[in-house]
Structure 1
Amino acid sequence: MRYGMNPHQSATVEGGPAVIGGAPSLINYLDALNAFALVREADDAGGLPAAASFKHVSPAGAALAGAVDEVAAETWRTPDAAADSLISAYVRARDADPKSSFGDVVALSRPVDAETAEFLRTVICDAVIAPGYEEGAVATLSAKKSGGFLIFDAGTDWQPPARERREVLGAIIEQDRDAADLAAALPAGALDETRRRDALLGMATARYTQSNSVVLVRDGAAIGIGAGQQNRVDCVRLAGDKARVWWLRRHPFVRELPLVDGMRRQDRLNWQIRFAGAEMTRSQQAEFTELFGAEASARYDERTWREEWAEKLDDVTLVSDGFLPFRDNVDHAAEYGVRTIVEPGGSTRSDEVAAAASEHDIDLVTTGLRLFHH
């Protein structure tokens, strides 16, 4: 490998997907392997092309192919993306948290076609993994980063072994790979077709997200992922805040910020996110006023438009990789438009959790299946 976890660590690898472009590091391998496993399971469960945007061993976004809404189409300049296309899956995945997706590893569940390859050429990403590439796609991607863009070919027959093994600080650990049937864990008839699809996408995403994790899914796309927190309610809040910013980016005030000559797409996106989420420092507020004008600056300090718009976010499914230990998880979830919760169950306070769900008119589905991942 180019290096291990950090540039001062040398590393080697045996097995895994074929590298047909660039020189990967250890983190690139970890992202690519986990991301490809996620999208393949999501595709199998949903029956549609799936994509994930991976950063630092957790997904920033994951989605099935579907309609690309006006904001995403405008942002990513993909007005003609078909609802059943591979490119639509990745646009929806990347649009969930575009601040985090900057410089991501892209995972795709179907062979990369010319349209998707051309799109990937235009965005800041570091690598792609897929089960093959259609004619011309590799040549298009190889031109990125002066030939240094990473291209993994997972092939169509790749299967991870039934047992997985790692060595950590001298300890050798071996376990069964987590291959539990996600669909079988969902009680039959508990959810309608749309919410079942969202639940399965959320479960596949949680399975490959660093624990503790919570995934918020809406219309076949994970719009907020809270990863790697030491307590579960922080996962809910983190996922919810990301989902809320995604939703607020659809508000006219955010969409219609004045265009600034010469401003790059990612810079504009970052300003929209700061504006939508009310997360600017004082120095950033001064710069924002200079760039976008006094009217936009005055709106930044207003709370009413954000609160009114946030209340319209609805039909969200929350998937938790572990049981919800306290009702505060449900109380916070209700603030982000959650109408369905899917969790393993089994907490000593499950009765309180169920009561909270009932109070908020949230459907609670327990699976008995924990999906921790480290």
Structure 2
Amino acid sequence: MPKRALISVSDKTGVAEFAKRLLAAGYEILSTGGTLKAISDAGVKVVAVDDVTGFPECFSGRVKTMHPKIMGGVLYRRGDSEHEAQAKELEIESIDLVVVNLYPFEETYNKGVTGDELIEQIDIGGPTLLRSAAKNHKHVTVVCEIEDYDRVIEEIEKSGDTSMQTRAELAAKTFLRTTTYDAAIMNALSGGARRSTTLINELPLRYGENPHQWGAYFDVYGTDRAWKVIQEEKQMSYLNILDADGAWNLVCEYSDPTAACIKHANPSGVASHEDISEAFQRCYDADRLSAFGVIVALNRPCTKAVIEKIVDQKIFAEVIIAPGYDDDALELLKKKPKIRAVEMQCPKQKDHIMYRSMLGGILVQDQDTKVLTKDDLTVVTDAKPTDSQIDDLLFAWLVVKHAKSNAIVFAKDKITTGIGCGQTSRVDSTIIAARRAGEKAQGSVMASDAFFPFADSIEEAAKNGISAIIQPGGSIRDEEVIAKANELGIVMVTTGVRAFKH
């Protein structure tokens, strides 16, 4: 008796050729509806499921394959004397290969479709067949993705069947697909009140935040891994990945060529310049003391000149992350194998959902993608900002967004001159930024990620020569703070937007 394959797919890409090769390999093909027509039109002999079951497709196609002669053919255990006897008694023939891809519920939902039209995209028979075949993968091969057609048919053509390892891998993949499919339906029907995120492709790490902690990186199902390791003598660590993420999110805020040095998820220096190697040098010079064991992020391809600066100045860089690497930069990097090189593109659309585990549950928010322009700023002091001050204020605002609160950033000529962050008092962050800046503070602008609760930070800014300040505003002491800025001759603009980062 020939092996039998049941093929019923929503996306018919490649299915006719796959069926043709299965037929040539000795398989009998069973199919339904549009899939049957696509296979038949390609000149491939195919048997309608109706002819197997003796029961017609009904209820507008809602019931096609859910029949004992189909489900039993998939599920009964081969080699089990009781099952074999029942199959013979009930005239149920084995189905050895199940090929199903599901109705496009996710795509339909993402287009904004609702109501009955969306409900009709909930596949019932497909997941049932897939789960049945996956459960019985000891005997049945299950295919839920077009990308697996070649792998499966090549094994069948070579060996007459798939291997147990292949069937087990495809079964696990199938349960992943049905899980995420059901999760998408649950999310849609609950209006987002119930959600599920599936983690895949575990990348075990040497350890977590500390050597005594377990750690791993996972991709989120439905999204491709966005980063690629180009070089690593030692594997990327948990903290390397955290810091690289912070560095990358920061430099991708800028349209100008920009470089950043990140340490413990906070920027130590950031600079923009038309030459990316000069931007790197300036961001490193902004705070050389802190830039030890640093993550370097560039929003332009890494050039040989950048690597030369790292090598010549003996900079201890843990990771470089950039959208690409020039060939001569990669050659030079090989001489520094301890530097991990990561390639990643800045996202074209920033609609990332952020998850954090808290209090035994999960906090969820969308990414802070608010972009400020000159037109968003409100001048609240008598003194008005110059064009160059506005440029520096907007530059500093992007940096302060990516520093841990309470955060203060000093900047001048699109270079950070001092950064104070992660303090419980805003004035302490100002004092730290001033200490880091030293003489460079003179003529710098200052950015604050939240309003000033008191005027003390303004006084500290004035002591250190700050010329202009950008802050959200909204404090009950705004009048006092603005009055102090006027008294001290400092320009102040407000954004109306807070930029906390915890």
TM interval, short-chain normalised: 0.7 to 0.9
* 1:217 partnered with 2:411: yes
Correspondence for 2:325: 133
* 1:35 partnered with 2:276: no
Q: Where does 1:23-62 land on structure 2 (aligned, <5 Å)? A: 23-42=235-254, 44=255, 48-62=256-270
Q: Where does 1:107-186 land on structure 2 (aligned, <5 Å)? A: 107-122=297-312, 123-144=315-336, 147-155=337-345, 157=347, 161-168=351-358, 170-183=360-373, 186=376
CA offsets, 1:190-228, max 9 Å, x none? 643311221122111111111110000111111100010
Change in CA separation of 1:26 and 1:169 when aligned onto 2, cut-off 3 Å: farther
Output the CA distance in 2 between the equivalents of 1:135 and 1:228: 39
Change in CA separation of 1:121 and 1:168 when aligned onto 2, cut-off 3 Å: farther
Output the CA distance in 2 between the equivalents of 1:347 and 1:90: 37
If the length of structure 2 is used for normalisation, what is the TM-score? 0.54
Say which of 189, 197, 208 aligns to 2:391.
197
What letter is aligned with 2:427? V
CA offsets, 1:26-74, max 9 Å, x none? 11111111111211213x2xxx311111000100111111xxxxxxxxx
Correspondence for 1:324: 452
* Unpaired stretches in structure 1, ≥5 consecutive residues: 66-83, 248-312
| Maintained 8 Å contact 2:252/2:346 | no
Identity of aligned residues (%): 36
Correspondence for 1:368: 496
Change in CA separation of 1:33 and 1:320 when aligned onto 2, cut-off 3 Å: same
Other structure's SS at 2:423 match? coil
Output the CA distance in 2 between the equivalents of 1:187 and 1:34: 26
| Maintained 8 Å contact 2:357/2:363 | yes
Other structure's SS at 2:442 match? coil
Correspondence for 2:434: 240
Say which of 20, 35, 38 aligns to 2:230.
20
What letter is aligned with 2:215? A
State the 1:94 CA deviation: 1.0
State the 1:342 CA deviation: 0.4
CA offsets, 1:109-157, max 9 Å, x none? 100111112222332211111111111212322321xx23211101355
* 1:9 partnered with 2:217: no
Output the CA distance in 1 between the equivalents of 2:293 and 2:453: 35
Output the CA distance in 2 between the equivalents of 1:6 and 1:184: 43
Correspondence for 2:62: none
Output the CA distance in 1 between the equivalents of 2:443 and 2:341: 37
| Maintained 8 Å contact 1:19/1:152 | yes
- Please identify, of 211-220 and 17-26, the stretch whose mean Cα deviation from structure 2 is larger: 17-26
| Maintained 8 Å contact 2:226/2:345 | no
Output the CA distance in 2 between the equivalents of 1:365 and 1:121: 41
- Paired residues in the alignment total 284
Q: Where does 1:247-326 land on structure 2 (aligned, <5 Å)? A: 247=440, 314-326=442-454
Change in CA separation of 1:158 and 1:20 when aligned onto 2, cut-off 3 Å: farther
What letter is aligned with 1:197? D
Output the CA distance in 2 between the equivalents of 1:87 and 1:137: 12
Other structure's SS at 2:342 match? strand
Output the CA distance in 1 between the equivalents of 2:375 and 2:425: 24
Output the CA distance in 1 between the equivalents of 2:268 and 2:328: 28
What letter is aligned with 1:140? L
CA offsets, 1:80-134, max 9 Å, x none? xxxx311111111111111111111001110011111222233221111111111
What letter is aligned with 1:211? S
CA offsets, 1:229-253, max 9 Å, x none? 0010001111011111x64xxxxxx
Correspondence for 1:104: 294
Q: Where does 1:338-349 land on structure 2 (aligned, <5 Å)? A: 338-349=466-477
What letter is aligned with 2:216? T
Output the CA distance in 1 between the equivalents of 2:463 and 2:403: 23
What letter is aligned with 2:500? F
State the 1:158 CA deviation: 6.3
Output the CA distance in 1 between the equivalents of 2:450 and 2:375: 14
Output the CA distance in 2 between the equivalents of 1:362 and 1:188: 14
If the length of structure 1 is used for normalisation, what is the TM-score? 0.72
* Unpaired stretches in structure 2, ≥5 consecutive residues: 1-204, 220-224
State the 1:170 CA deviation: 2.5
| Maintained 8 Å contact 1:215/1:319 | yes
